[in-house]
Amino acid sequence: MFELNDRQEIVTVSSSLEAADLLLNKWPTKRGPSYKLAVMTCLASFQGKQPPELVRQDLIAAAIEAHIYVKPRSISI
């Protein structure tokens, strides 16, 4: 689960598609190396080139970069 903004919007991610939707449509900042890597990993996952665990890892790194709270082991992709 991710806490996205001051309204404490909680988002749960359970697939690579949901991760991509979160990054592209709800992410508070669309910059930074971890953000860009997470987007690329999601796209590669759609093509079968990256495993779901890497999507999870890169999404968490992007959240840390953007100062978004991540509940530990809250996403399983």
Residue ranges of domains in the chain: 2-70
Question: Looking at residues 6-34, what average pLDDT do you find?
Answer: 89
Cα 72 vs. chain centroid, distance in angstroms?
13
User: Does pLDDT of 21 surpass 60?
Assistant: yes
Q: Give the helix ranges, DSSP H, for the chain.
A: 16-21, 33-46, 52-65
pLDDT at residue 73 in the model: 64
pLDDT band (50, 70, 90) for residue 57: very high
Question: Looking at residues 28-52, what average pLDDT do you find?
Answer: 96
pLDDT at residue 39 in the model: 98
